[in-house]
């Protein structure tokens, strides 16, 4: 800091005084003017670099990694922490997403960083585009990670982070895509849903025919009345997606035939959720609908006192309904009956057998009783602004805008508890238990062994 101040004082004060003095005595020959100007340039650049370094240091003030002792006060434990790749001059983390193996962090400059979500090992980091377009949360299937950035769709090798192909979309994406092993579905600002054939896209990429032949990879398109702001849900038979026109559409995967259309009285901005054969739809008309996934028949409906714009989470037969100003609700997924309401809760984050984790309005992590929603503690993680709504496991993932990522867990849970997609997780080998101590001693005595000798 002192170096910066002295440098700036010299550049701003001493150099002008020196120049005025030399001009008065007539000692300013051409070469002296050039030499002095060169010195001024060097000092100015040096001072600017020092000031920039100071600003960067100041921007990270207050970002501390909580210790195990600190987390233990809240019955939490740090599993791992890592640093995502960001451009510190103009970049910040905006999205976290998770699959069965990896955690992905996406920055405003289009840099995606992958970590192993159990160990925290940093796997790769890849730059997408020119870093000035809006990107949405990544999604993945068994081989690739897919990201929409502006009007481009990227397919990235899940193992090494290499871009396999890049597709220029016919319109700007308006949400994250939805993907299975055969197709990828992308909603756009103009309200059109595109179904792209992944096998055909890979063929065109290998033949060097993208983007010229991209139309041949379109299975079908479907036009809605307004922007599609939420990711679609794909089932074995249909694709379900909502629009700002207030309607939910269910179309067949193969030939886009309309299976059913469900209309609400306001735009649909919250992400859809499913469990079993039920679909959960939150609308800005203040209603939460539970529909039959196959035919759209209403199973139950509850009306709130506020527009529903936050994603709905459905885990272990419970529904978690979030709002920034009106609290967090736990409802029965079967009947819609309210179990509890926590007015301090703002957004659902994660779930364990005995706890519900949520944020409050100012960004603290709330630890709630799963039974009645009572606040057990509040963890001061306001500097970790990006918190993942984790519906896969019980782990808590959060990131600072500068890219410091934390993975936390309940203290007495050594292994992740998995709620969804159980068939997609790698099979872990069974580990034989170690022999009891008394058995080892008996064997040693029988063999004439003595550990003291």
Whether 297 is covered by a domain: the verdict is no
**277 closest CA partner among 315, 310, 235:** 235
* For helices 15-25 and 30-59, angle between their N-to-C axes, nearest 10 degrees: 170
pLDDT score recorded for residue 63? 83
Range of the domain at 9: 2-59
Neighbour tally for 331: CB within 10 Å? 23
pLDDT grade, residue 59 (50/70/90)?
very low
**pLDDT cut 70: percent of the chain above it:** 79
* Reported pTM: 0.80
pLDDT grade, residue 336 (50/70/90)?
very high
Whether 370 is covered by a domain: the verdict is no
pLDDT at 19 over 90: no
**3-state SS assignment for residue 168:** strand
* Overall number of domains in the chain: 1
Whether 278 is covered by a domain: the verdict is no
Whether 336 is covered by a domain: the verdict is no
Whether 33 is covered by a domain: the verdict is yes
**438 closest CA partner among 448, 446, 426, 430:** 446
Computed over every residue of the chain, the mean pLDDT equals: 84
pLDDT score recorded for residue 425? 54
Whether 167 is covered by a domain: the verdict is no
DSSP string over 255-311: T--EEEEEE-SS---SPPEEETTEEEEE-TTSEEEEEETTT--EEEEEE-SS---SP
φ, ψ dihedrals at 27, nearest 5°: -100, 20
**323 closest CA partner among 339, 308, 336:** 308
pLDDT at 3 over 80: no
Whether 407 is covered by a domain: the verdict is no
Whether a cis peptide bond, with omega within 30° of 0, leads into 236 is: no
Strand order in the sheet with 139-140: 139-140, 144-149, 152-157, 163-168
Cα separation, 125 vs 162, in Å, equals 9
**145 closest CA partner among 130, 162, 131:** 162
Strand order in the sheet with 347-351: 347-351, 355-359, 365-369, 375-379
Three-state SS sequence of 18-83: HHHHHHHHCCCCHHHHHHHHHHHHHHHHHHHHHHHHHHHHHHCCCCCCCCHHHHHCCCEEEEEEEE
Q: What are the counts of helices (DSSP H) followed by strands (DSSP E) for the chain?
A: 6, 32
Dihedral through CA 315, CA 320, CA 322, CA 327, nearest 10? -140
pLDDT grade, residue 62 (50/70/90)?
low
Cα separation, 307 vs 338, in Å, equals 18
Whether 366 is covered by a domain: the verdict is no
pLDDT score recorded for residue 431? 47
**3-state SS assignment for residue 452:** coil
φ, ψ dihedrals at 440, nearest 5°: -65, -45
Kindly report, residue by residue over 108-137, the tens digit of the pLDDT: 999 999 999 999 999 999 999 877 778 999
Cα separation, 183 vs 192, in Å, equals 16
Neighbour tally for 396: CB within 10 Å? 27
Mean pLDDT across 48-52: 34
Kindly report, residue by residue over 347-372, the tens digit of the pLDDT: 999 999 999 999 999 999 999 999 99
pLDDT at 155 over 90: yes
């Amino acid at each position: 800091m002192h170096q910066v101040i002295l440098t700036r004082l010299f550049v701003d004060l001493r150099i002008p005084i020196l120049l005025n003095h030399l001009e008065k005595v007539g000692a300013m020959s051409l070469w002296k003017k050039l030499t002095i100007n060169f010195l001024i340039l060097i000092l100015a650049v040096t001072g600017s670099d020092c000031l920039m370094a100071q600003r960067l240091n100041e921007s990270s003030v207050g970002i501390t990694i909580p210790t195990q002792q600190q987390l233990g006060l809240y019955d939490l434990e740090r599993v791992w922490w890592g640093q995502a790749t960001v451009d510190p001059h103009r970049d910040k983390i905006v999205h976290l997403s998770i699959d069965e193996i990896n955690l992905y962090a996406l920055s405003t400059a289009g840099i995606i960083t992958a970590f192993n979500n159990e160990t925290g090992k940093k796997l790769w980091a890849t730059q997408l585009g020119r870093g000035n377009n809006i990107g949405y949360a990544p999604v993945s299937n068994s081989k690739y990670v897919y990201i929409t950035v502006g009007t481009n769709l990227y397919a990235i090798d899940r193992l090494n982070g290499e871009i396999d192909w890049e597709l220029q979309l016919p319109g700007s994406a308006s949400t994250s895509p939805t993907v299975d092993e055969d197709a990828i579905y992308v909603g756009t600002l103009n309200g059109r849903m595109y179904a792209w054939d992944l096998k055909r896209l890979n063929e065109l990429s290998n033949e060097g025919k993208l983007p010229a032949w991209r139309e041949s990879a379109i299975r079908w398109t479907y036009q809605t009345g307004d922007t599609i702001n939420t990711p679609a849900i794909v089932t074995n038979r249909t694709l379900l997606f909502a629009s700002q026109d207030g309607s939910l559409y269910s179309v067949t995967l193969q030939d886009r035939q309309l299976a059913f259309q469900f209309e609400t009285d306001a735009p649909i901005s919250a992400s859809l959720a499913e469990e079993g054969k039920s679909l959960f739809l939150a609308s800005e008309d203040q209603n939460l609908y539970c529909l039959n996934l196959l035919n759209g028949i209403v199973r139950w409906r509850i009306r709130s006192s506020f527009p529903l714009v936050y994603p709905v989470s459905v885990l272990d037969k419970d529904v978690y309904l979030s709002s920034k100003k009106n609290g967090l609700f736990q409802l029965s997924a079967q009947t819609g009956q309210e179990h509890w309401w926590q007015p301090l809760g703002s957004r659902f984050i994660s779930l364990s057998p005995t706890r519900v984790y949520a944020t409050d309005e100012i960004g603290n992590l709330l630890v709630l009783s799963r039974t009645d929603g009572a606040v057990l503690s509040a963890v001061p993680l306001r500097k970790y602004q990006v918190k993942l709504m984790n519906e896969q496991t019980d782990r808590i993932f959060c990131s600072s805008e500068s890219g410091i990522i934390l993975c936390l867990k309940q203290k007495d849970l050594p292994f992740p508890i998995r709620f969804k997609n159980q068939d997609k997780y790698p099979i872990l080998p069974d580990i034989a238990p170690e022999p009891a101590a008394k058995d080892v001693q008996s064997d040693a005595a029988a063999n004439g062994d003595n550990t003291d000798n």
